[in-house]
A and B are shown apart, each in its own frame.
Chain A
């Protein structure tokens, strides 16, 4: 082979490591398998028509969910690899370089490509149904958001086998991530993958902000919205105002790397501290972007499975909004040790701690929603109840970290690692899993098996404590983060061993969860009623899965917990209310008077106005992928056509006239009849 070819190959493909060859092989095999199955069963047309071109929020939600679970798997494998390397000092499982790549991709994938699509899955699945809308405000943009996320994630994941993964940490601070110390394409992958998927996130933020403000069914005032919608509104505001900071930080760092500018090098007058600030101006709101929707899900789940109204609704809304405002004012708590004066550190310390107040209030409100309820310990409720102690401890250690002088000791140690895993896993992951179990029947028309779910939960939950409690301790013993090996004489060994055992337990929990899904696809109880949990909000008024147009007639909302009230009115009695306290019966009577007779309102059906499917979001995102790939390797012959493709796709859209159509009444009648709802 000519030298130039070998030279190219060694730089392009990552060679010389069994792990990488394993990944290569599995990628090739999986791709071949998918291609084979699609071709063999003649599913290409189906894939294109039903999924790649869809603008239906329900399908987009499902695609987000699948992507999130896959990424959870990938990030989880990363975690297991790291914990295996750390099981004992002096392990030779991973070399330093690979460990560094793996913790970088682990963090990046878990936050950007697991947590983000997971929350977007929940946004898409639940919000339009909960507010009584037929789709989101901008369905076409919604599809663009998904595909941008998808191809951004692709870009990052391929870096493991082609070109080399980024290895400067998920925060990617210059100068380490700058051109001087990160040579090769790895860091470019990080920058472009985040940039591309970031555009998608921004789109989703705008989309749901508008959807919630403009698309609510008649009568659904803001204060009658389900709390999940409030939490999505809060997260959307955070996205819209925080992501531009990330975009700027990534773009400037990319200029430094590709165009030789000096925004973040100290040389020629740049300043790396600027990057650190910009990153966390986005980074702190980001952690609330992912946790607020989880809060929303917990609120829904707690009320439903306690058969009780949410306690302190107004207080819940107030604390959500307080958190939104405060989370822009705390970013510097991620670098108390960067030499800011005591005034600055005090300000950010106090602001950070103050966030703990509304957060604590929410916990009390969840508890008192359960209090004097009738608690059913179903799978979603298990994850919710499991979340509470986790989050209380995680929030408490958050407050401890926020106390600047003590943070000088915790910063960059395993104590910090334990904190944020407790809030991110105990908060976000538990929340998303609760939401997945909760809305699964609405998405797929069947339930997930409860027995498997319980096993999965207990393995995961106990594994969590076994894994992360020791990390608080080993942090106090002085163990720093991001080390692939550690001295054996510091007393850290046993704790690390225990932690690794916990990680494997969580892995087992995840496998059980996947098995639950597989089992239930075949044997899960089918949901014929559309309301398997005896729900309270409008999505449960629809059949499962909901028809393409969601609501044949847009419901008229008269109170909070709209569906519950409708059911109550239909039952037409107060027998459920076993209490005799005056206030309660008054309130029930009131709601009964104002409730409509039933959801099946009279009046003829109208044709329904729906957006047309389009393949262009997919094509546009492919062009972004090509453009990004070209920039990663600085192959401008590839980047430029990619860029032109982007422009062409945008242009084509603006000349498109027919972007929507009407579903005729006969078709609606047919669909509704098939559901037995006519």
Chain B
């Protein structure tokens, strides 16, 4: 890395100024640089909570320093000494009160956003992508386009994307910080995560829940382009990539290895649903329904 000297030391400065790191200073802070509505809701809530907790954190740290400095036991100390003073209704009410108010505010916004993020208002039909975490790679299937990719996926900008998540390996977690927070991928289950990109870009994604030896290499890209570019890309994959066969899928799952990016022009119909079923979905009727509807 040939960055100028000062950019490196900028990090050190942040170390000293942690409390001040509240908003997008530096595009490296992926969580604070949202590229879509979900991540933006989360980023705003993050900033709100940081500000609210700082209302307590900063005064308490200052108060600690002041008290320790002022009441240190020194021979010439003139500060008042009241060894039996141990109660004050007023003070107690104040410091039960302050945290209650602050938690009240954070709590209100938390609940609001928790509900907001469940399922977005969808102005148009979402693009569905079925995601399977494998050892140690990510498989993305596009049921409507009937194409599949490994370790990256492409999405159109400004259109909600419905990720349906499962795992054919130990539980992992699907996380694309700039598009929104994570959700677990679990064998035998299908979970939903709606994300959307506002602008074209390559967004870093990584498995977030440990799955063994090759886990550290489970990075993937989410590439957002405009709708036209997306259509072109699907056509190109359809035309040029090999199909994903049952055997090909088996190789992906059973060979516990790390692979690069791949594309497939088709995949066996119903493979994703079948995968959930044989991994235990058959015992959870509602999960099967989730996966198929």
Q: Which residues of A contact B (CB under 8 A)?
A: 96-97, 100, 167-169, 173, 175-176, 181, 265-270, 272-273, 306-313, 315, 335, 337-339, 341-342, 345-346, 349-350, 353-354, 356-357, 360-361, 363-365, 367-377, 385, 388-389, 392-393, 396-397, 399-400, 402-413, 465-466, 469-470, 472-473, 475-478, 480-491, 493-495, 498, 576-579, 581, 583-584, 587-588
Contact = CB atoms under 8 A, between A and B. Distances in A.
B82 A584 contact: yes
Contact of A392 (B60, B82, B183): B60
Contacts, number: 311
A534 B204 CA distance: 59
Given A342-B114, A371-B67, A356 B171 contact: no
Interface stretch (B153-161, B210-218, B263-271): B210-218
B240 interface: no
A359 B111 CA distance: 22
Contacts of B72: 375, 377
A411 B211 CA distance: 15
Contact of B53 (A167, A396, A487): A396
Interface in B77-97: 77, 79-88, 91-92, 95-96
A397 B32 CA distance: 16
B81 A374 contact: yes
Nearest to A389: B61
23 contacts: A175-B171, A266-B283, A267-B280, A311-B85, A339-B186, A339-B189, A364-B91, A367-B60, A369-B86, A373-B71, A374-B71, A374-B77, A388-B64, A389-B61, A392-B56, A392-B60, A403-B45, A409-B180, A411-B181, A470-B15, A482-B216, A485-B216, A579-B85
B183 A339 contact: yes
B175 interface: yes
B273 to A, nearest CB: 15
B111 A346 contact: yes
A581 to B, nearest CB: 7
A361 B96 CA distance: 6
A404 B86 contact: no
Interface stretch (B100-108, B144-152, B229-237, B242-250): B100-108
B171 A173 contact: yes
B60 A169 contact: no
A405 B42 contact: yes
A308 B85 contact: yes
Given A403-B45, A405-B45, 13 more contacts: A173-B170, A337-B184, A350-B111, A364-B91, A367-B60, A367-B63, A388-B64, A392-B61, A404-B110, A469-B18, A477-B31, A485-B217, A498-B11
A342 B113 CA distance: 9
Contacts of B79: 372
A346 B61 CA distance: 30
Is chain A's binding surface mostly helix, strand, loop or mixed? helix
Given A389-B64, A406-B46, A476-B31, A399 B92 contact: no
A101 to B, nearest CB: 11
B188 interface: yes
Interface in B1-60: 1, 8, 11-12, 14-15, 18, 21, 26, 28-32, 39, 41-42, 45-46, 49-50, 53-54, 56-57, 60
Contacts of B189: 266, 339
Contact of B84 (A309, A371, A465, A486): A309
A375 B209 CA distance: 46
* Nearest 5 interchain pairs by C-beta: A408-B181, A266-B280, A266-B188, A483-B216, A176-B170
B86 A308 contact: yes
